[in-house]
Structure 1
Amino acid sequence: MGTTEDLDQRSQSLFEHLGELRFRLVRMVWILLIATGICYHFSEPVFDFIRAPIAPYLPGGGLIYTGPLDKFLAHIKIAFVCGILISCPLWLYQIWKFVAPGLYQNEKKYSMTFIVAGSGLFIMGAAFSYYIVLPMAFHFLMNYGGTTDKAMISIEQYLGFFTQMCLMFGVSFELPLVISILGMMGLVSQKFLKEKRRYAIMGLAVAAAIITPPDLMSMVMMLVPMVLLYEIGVLVVGFVERKREADIKRNERE
């Protein structure tokens, strides 16, 4: 049973972690607000870019809106999503600063790799959604049941769908980075990841079915890269473990 001093130290450590988490979250909020404000000035050309995947299936190539504030709120939402994208390195840096104390000293030097890889993976996921998944999904959904009926899609409906797809694909592409960090913190091992591979794939399939539109092609288009990214994460964790063992042996010899 721990002494009063031990309990006080644990309580102090917990409050320090919570204080650090609050500090990093506040910084992330400010980063996103500033980035959103910058992106708002470019929201109109960005809106044209976002509308492009569904434009061929719309009468006149445009979306509709039914409320006086709908278009204004749409530009705010667009600015926010773009703000998340362009500020990706900054808020990833805040995440890294929070998890870094739980890593070994020689692993903390990977901060720049973490930021660059995390930003690149997120943008790759969003780009994969925009250029590959969305066109295929719209081709299926907008042509389903023949071409007699014409689509009248509202701005709110489309942006909700578009934002969900791009953000979910962006987040899902962070999978190898998340697995790598868990491996660096000693929470998972390469052996564990290999043994639980079947369960992981089942979980990824369920996630892909929930996130993507209700057609098999979109689900497969998300599941395949997620499985590949999981395997990349397994390889990276193995590399981290071998590097850690080599460092320990070298320190023992010294």
Structure 2
Amino acid sequence: MKNKDIQLIEHLDELRQRIIKVLLAFILFFVGAFIFVQDIYNWLIRDLDEKLAVLGPSDILWVYMMISCVFAIAATIPAAAYQTWKFIAPALTKDESKVTLRFIPGLFILFIIGICFGYFVLFPIVLGFLMSLSAGQFETMFTADKYFRFIMNLTLPFGFLFEMPLVVMFLTRLGILNPGRLAKARKLSYFVLIIVSILITPPDFISDILVIIPLLVLYELSVTISKFVYMKRQVNEVTM
């Protein structure tokens, strides 16, 4: 009993140390992004005809922190994934440990692709549609706070959601998931993804559709990848 308690304390201490390392990495990247935040800000508003308004001095700091935070999250993903791998590696086989390590660069790449998809594809479409609704009816004025909240709501979730195929591939490779389970959970997964899309988009039908479709495509892509990995895993087990 004492040995189990000691092992639990050691695991908790190791977990604490790894979380601290991830937090330190986030703070480091946050500070680095904040140093260049004005350049990033100017690049993000390059297509706007007018300057963004602020309702108070604190809004400026809040916007800069929001931008720096998004960049810090993106840069911290490889560090967080590596520390997670280091924590669970002792419980994995040698083959599983190698496979897990290979997935870390993919997590970062897919996160960036998701962010780019949200910013370069969805954001202009949704913003253009919403602006067309107010054309000739209202005088529009963007505040910096709401403008960047709008960007973040359309981009940051896609950074994480685009990692879905890789996560499914990884869990299938370890035998935790299989195509059958994913197929059975299709209705529930669709429902969850639809709810997520409604929560992260403005309250209009077109924006919801523009987000729902990519999410459902991602899920079906994840199912297809799972089938491929599962079949390959079965073949390898037979040959062994």
Q: TM-score range by the shorter chain?
A: 0.7 to 0.9
The share of aligned pairs that are identical, in percent, is 29
Please list every run of 5 or more consecutive structure 1 residues that lacks an aligned counterpart in the other structure: none
Tell me which moved more, 208-217 or 128-137: 208-217
Amino acid at match of 1:135: P
- Structure 1 residue 220 displacement after superposition: 2.5
- Structure 1 residue 131 displacement after superposition: 0.7
Q: Tell me if 1:125 matches 2:114.
A: yes
Amino acid at match of 2:172: G
Aligned to 2:41: 47
Aligned to 2:15: 21
Amino acid at match of 1:41: I
Match of 1:183 among 159, 172, 181: 172
Q: Is the 8 A contact 1:103 1:184 kept in 2?
A: no
Task: Provide the TM-score with structure 1 as the length reference.
Answer: 0.82
Mapped to 2, the partners of 1:122 and 1:204 lie a distance apart of: 17
Q: Tell me if 1:97 matches 2:91.
A: no
Q: Tell me if 1:115 matches 2:99.
A: no
- Structure 1 residue 177 displacement after superposition: 2.3
Q: Is the 8 A contact 2:37 2:64 kept in 1?
A: yes
Aligned to 1:135: 124
Q: CA-atom RMSD, angstroms?
A: 2.5
After TM superposition, the structure 1 = structure 2 runs for residues 71-220 of structure 1, keeping only pairs within 5 Å, are 71-220=60-209
> Cα distance 1:52–1:244, how it changes in 2: closer, same or farther (>3 A)?
same
Aligned residues: 240
- Structure 1 residue 72 displacement after superposition: 2.6
Secondary structure of the corresponding residue to residue 223 of structure 1:
helix
Mapped to 2, the partners of 1:35 and 1:125 lie a distance apart of: 20
Mapped to 2, the partners of 1:128 and 1:161 lie a distance apart of: 15
- Structure 1 residue 171 displacement after superposition: 1.0
Q: Is the 8 A contact 1:169 1:222 kept in 2?
A: no
Q: Is the 8 A contact 2:201 2:207 kept in 1?
A: yes
Match of 1:230 among 196, 200, 219: 219
1:221-253 Cα shifts (integer Å, max 9, x gaps):
3222222222332233334434444454455xx
- Structure 1 residue 182 displacement after superposition: 3.0
1:182-230 Cα shifts (integer Å, max 9, x gaps):
3344332221112222221222112111112222332223222222222
> Cα distance 1:122–1:110, how it changes in 2: closer, same or farther (>3 A)?
same
- Structure 1 residue 119 displacement after superposition: 0.8
Q: Is the 8 A contact 1:175 1:226 kept in 2?
A: no
1:13-60 Cα shifts (integer Å, max 9, x gaps):
54444333322221111111001111112111210222246x24xxxx
Mapped to 2, the partners of 1:237 and 1:173 lie a distance apart of: 15
Mapped to 1, the partners of 2:64 and 2:101 lie a distance apart of: 32
Amino acid at match of 2:20: V
> Cα distance 1:15–1:192, how it changes in 2: closer, same or farther (>3 A)?
farther
Task: Provide the TM-score with structure 2 as the length reference.
Answer: 0.86
1:41-83 Cα shifts (integer Å, max 9, x gaps):
2111210222246x24xxxx11111212321332222122112
- Structure 1 residue 135 displacement after superposition: 0.7
- Structure 1 residue 152 displacement after superposition: 2.0
Match of 1:67 among 42, 56, 63: 56
Amino acid at match of 1:143: S
